Structure 1
Amino acid sequence: MSRIEYLLDINHDMLEGRDFRQSKLNFLELVEQQLADGQTDLALSNLSRQPARCFKIANLHWGQGDLVNAEKYLRMTLERYQRFVAAGEEHGRSLEEYKNFGEAQIKTAAALLDTRLEGPVLTSQVDVGYSPAFENYLLDCCLGTFAFDMSHWQSLEDAWLKNRFPKYKLEEYAVCVKALTGGFASDAEMLAAHEKMWLGKARRNPDAGLMEGYGEYNAYVIDFIFAAVLKRIGWQGTYRHSWPNTCPAGSDAVTTRASDRHLGVITAPPPVPDGESGLIENPQAARRFIDTHVRDQRDWWEGEQVDAARPAQERGKVAKALKEVGWKADPATLDLLRTYRMDAILNDSTHVFLSDPIGDRYCGVKKWTGLFTEEFGMSADFIAVVESEEKADYRDPQGGWYVLWIKDKRVYLVQREDWGDPALATREARPGFSVWPSYSSFVAWWVAQHLEGKR
């Protein structure tokens, strides 16, 4: 038995195999028996699992090009959902307590089969900050007629990152968002971007379900969310991840009707610093502020654009460079440092500049921190995050200097005469003036200083 035959066999058996109880009922029949016996809560709990299980079987058949069985189990997905809703009504039970019962799969089946949905699937309260929230919003957009709310999407991303989940998952969802909202220059570019994203999942092996398409499952299943997106935007043709015209993995996509029904976008207002402190405290909002303004940053003098993107060959060196100075960066900070050369992020209101962990403009974080600690008595608990090319600054640094305190990962402006004692140097720190809650917040403030001075 091949691997795919095994996956199909075991999933069919779980749903339809006659091995429940001595009566030899299958799972579908068992639920109906439980309802008849008055075991309503147990029956509803079991019934809530059936739509997703039917959809999984549909997807596996779809991935093998067996569209007859794929459609059969897509329809069964909807039938089982409708039975779930009806059973709740028949027995006077509210279904509001149920969530994550396969809402995205039910919505996908409805989108692909042009079926109208009613019931709790449309109003289910999924956990913000987890995958179902993203999937449900994308599928709501596929079924609805409203514009894509970028503020809502960013709030989901913020919650995801707050939970310290991997950013690559957001990058995968971003392909669907861009396709749904017409962000690609052409359908060919869209399909190529999706294929690259999907095949990239084959190289990852997180603790994820079969239908997410990671690792060995990549070649067996279909990206059903993207298939629903294609249908929503009016694309037609043959592509591995399309309905109903699928094709084997690795086959070239063929477009017979170009996409022309993209969603409008409700643009999210850019994050702005707090009026009093000048801070953006939320790390994700700070990062969006940085991304928004650094991509087109220009110097004050000639108005020339300065590209701060870190070269690809340097990105893999950042974590090691931080480790060498004792900087235990959180994922958000590490991603920021891998994305940008800090010494190329402008702030023309001052002669000093952000120190880079790789560093070749002058000396970088390691050498500049070593200079301050070894020659001028700065505490080893501090990491210098701003440096200078002025001789006076590195021969005899005076005044205040920006440092990261390893203890709390905040950035402080500390005075030379106090910096040997971290407690003393940070005792009277003021938000937005001499302390920033995170490195991302500090860099956002740094960018804001450049923008403010330009005005």
Structure 2
Amino acid sequence: MGLFDLFKRNRASSSRRRGSHARISRIDHLLGMYHDFLEKPEPAYGGVDFVAFVERQLREGQVDLAIWNISSQVRYYFALANLYWGQGDGPRAETYLRRTLERHQRLVDACADHDLPRPSYRGIECAKCAACLLGVEVEDLRRAEAFEPGYEPWFKDALLSYCLDLRDFDRDAWQASADEWTRKRHPKYRLEEFAVYVKALTGGYESTDAMLGAHAKMFASRTARNPDSDLLDGYDDNDLIVDHIFAAILNRIGWEGSYRHSWPHSAAVGSMPQTTKSPDRFAGVIAAAEPMADRDTGLIGDVSAARRFIDLHLRHQTDFEGEVVDAARPAKDRGKVSGALRDLGWTGDPETLDLMRTYRMDCICNDRTHLSLCDPMRGASITMEAWTRLLSDDFGLHPDFIAIAGSEEKTDYRDPQGAWYCYWKKDRRIYAIDRDAWGDPDVAVRHARPGLNLWPSYSSFVAWWISEHLRSKA
């Protein structure tokens, strides 16, 4: 059992101790625990410490186990460095940063001595961070790692790798991994935290103060969550540790000054950052390729790709006359969207909920039709509730359908003809349903074809709607 596993098991009892009359402070408890684990002679190790024990494992041929143990030592030494760093003890922090790199090199040498490939081990981002902070060239750390996209080690390693050299940020690779994270149903808030790092790395903030303020807010918000995370992530002992990833990014982009999460000058918890040199070495960005529509259907079927297309084009949306149209939903209204959709019977669709929280549907242009998208919120010019009720009560639309587009033409709401765009609650897809089949869902969708009168998701439909608008402008 590793130290981090032991730490997780004891986290609850440790938290209780912090609220009781503990004999030692939390920081002394943590420092003592890591020091003992690394440096205290143990009977189970034959009377030697953990580092010496690993050397004996190597001599006795337990190579795989020894290499795994060395990789854990990389993390433990870095944790010690971070704890001293968080207490303002720079010299001791530097000592353990250098020991972090020494342990990584020992792992590399052990693999070479036994003709084994060096693994992409959990914690290699600690070695990369130590090298970045100390300005040390470690050639081995520049190689490409093999972490599986869509899991946390990939994101941490990618960020620290960008901090080690001057490569441009690959937005496509990052987005692909973020999409995998979403498909695996991992917490969205973690992606939002990573996005703060990316924005700082690539110069996305309008000012240095805005960047530091956004990071401070993000890091402080971790105290309100309780995931099963490592000490270094800062969810549990937020006030004791430093955000080493952000500190490495500050070094990478050329920022200088004093901030709680900076190196070598780290300020006290709650102090105001002091900038002596604004960043001037932001990572360049390899622009993400625009999501492509399927050749046969003309649709973007993947929900994540459709959303990227939507976000890309709504940033600078203009109407037929070239006037900018801002479709962003006001912040004060975003929390009301869930209830509005629930009242309509549109549930279990987090992608659509997020899309509608971000944008007002009735403000998304399409000059190839006189119709407008309906918005779920009352007060919009054309609402889903009003059009669904009209088509259902007056013209027989089945209650399993929700109207998603409407018109201000009198002839349309007096006697709607032809096909109308609707969401079917049963399969959560969008159909263009002919008036003659409104009363029978099975008949209405029986011969629907993707690219003609069927869209696999609401996001796919909105992406198509925007593409139609772009065609009108072209």
Residue segments in structure 2 that go unaligned for 5+ positions in a row:
1-23
C-alpha distance in 2, partners of 1:207/1:129?
17
Distance 1:329 1:442, change over 3 A: farther
Q: 1:19: how far off?
A: 3.6
1:429 is matched with which residue?
Answer: 448
Displacement, 1:198? 1.8
For residue 219 of structure 1, what is the aligned residue in structure 2? 239
* Residue in structure 2 matched with residue 291 of structure 1 by the alignment: 311
Alpha-carbon distance change, 275 to 226 in structure 1, aligned in 2, over 3 angstroms: same
The residue that corresponds to 1:342 in the other structure is 361
1:9 counterpart (32, 36, 42) = 32
Partner of 2:417: 398
- CA deviations over 1:410-449 (Å, ceiling 9, x no partner): 1111112223222221121121221111111111111111
The CA distance in 2 between the partners of 1:186 and 1:59, in whole Å, is 28
Task: Sort the Cα spacing of 1:419 and 1:19 in 2 relative to 1 into closer, same or farther, 3 A.
Answer: farther
Please give the secondary structure, in 1, of the residue aligned with 2:237: helix
SS in 1 for 2:466: helix
Which residue does the alignment assign to 1:314? 333
The equivalent position to 1:252 in structure 2, one of 247, 272, 278, is 272
CA distance in 2, matches of 1:289, 1:317: 25
Distance verdict in 2 for CA 1:100–1:353, change over 3 Å? farther
For the residue of structure 2 that corresponds to 1:280, the secondary structure is coil
Q: CA deviation at 1:127?
A: 1.3
Equivalent position of 1:127 in the other structure? 148
SS in 1 for 2:209: helix
* Alignment TM-score, normalising by the size of structure 2: 0.89
* Distance in 2 of aligned mates of 1:248 and 1:444: 47
**Which secondary structure does the structure 2 equivalent of 1:306 belong to?**
coil
* Equivalent in the alignment of 1:372: 391
Once residues 22 and 362 of structure 1 are traced to their aligned partners in structure 2, the CA distance between those partners, rounded to angstroms, is 74
Take 2:458 and 2:110, find their aligned partners in 1: how far apart are those partners? Answer: 53
Match of 2:82 in 1: 59
Deviation for aligned residue 1:377: 2.8
Matched residue, 2:9: none
Q: Distance in 1 between matches of 2:422 and 2:43?
A: 65
* Corresponding residue SS for 1:219: coil
Q: Which one-letter code corresponds to 2:271 in the other structure?
A: S
Tell whether the 8 Å contact from 1:298 to 1:305 is kept in structure 2 after alignment.
yes
One-letter code aligned to 2:93: A
What are the superposed Cα offsets for residues 324-358 of structure 1, whole Å, 9 maximum, x if unpaired? 22212433222111001111111122122111111
The percentage of aligned residue pairs carrying the same residue is 51
CA separation in 1, counterparts of 2:43 and 2:369?
Answer: 74
| C-alpha displacement of 1:244 | 0.7
Q: Displacement, 1:275?
A: 4.8
Pair 1:30-2:30 in alignment: no
281-290 or 162-171, which deviates more: 162-171
Alignment counterpart, residue 409 of structure 1, candidates 419, 422, 428 = 428
Letter in 1 for 2:325: V
Q: What's the secondary structure of 2:238's corresponding residue?
A: helix
Do structure 1's residue 76 and structure 2's residue 99 form an aligned pair?
yes
Which residue in the other structure is 1:352 paired with?
A: 371
For structure 1, the 5+ residue unaligned runs are none
- d(CA) in 2 for partners of 1:17 and 1:368? 73
Partner of 1:269: 289
Q: Summarize the Cα distance change of 1:34–1:303 in structure 2 as closer, same or farther, 3 Å threshold.
A: same
Q: Shift of residue 363 of structure 1?
A: 5.5
Could you tell me whether the CA contact under 8 Å between 2:398 and 2:439 is conserved in 1?
Answer: yes
Give the Cα separation in 1 of the matches to 2:168 and 2:179.
20
Letter in 1 for 2:174: W
* Pairs within 5 Å for 1:67-146: 67-95=90-118, 98-119=119-140, 122-146=143-167
Q: TM-score, normalised by structure 1?
A: 0.93
Aligned equivalents of 1:251, 1:193: Cα separation in 2? 15
**Structure 2 equivalent of residue 191 of structure 1:** 212
Total equivalences in the alignment: 451
Deviation at 1:54, TM superposition (A): 1.4
Work out whether residues 234 and 261 of structure 1, in 8 Å CA contact, stay in contact via their aligned partners in 2. Answer: yes
Q: Residues 172-211 of structure 1: matches in 2 within 5 Å?
A: 172-211=193-232
Taking a change above 3 Å as real, the CA distance of residues 268 and 35 of structure 1, as seen in their structure-2 partners, is: same
Q: Which amino acid aligns with 1:395?
A: R
The one-letter code matched in structure 1 to 2:247 is A
Q: Which amino acid letter does the alignment assign opposite residue 270 of structure 2? A: G
2:281 is paired with a residue of what secondary structure?
coil
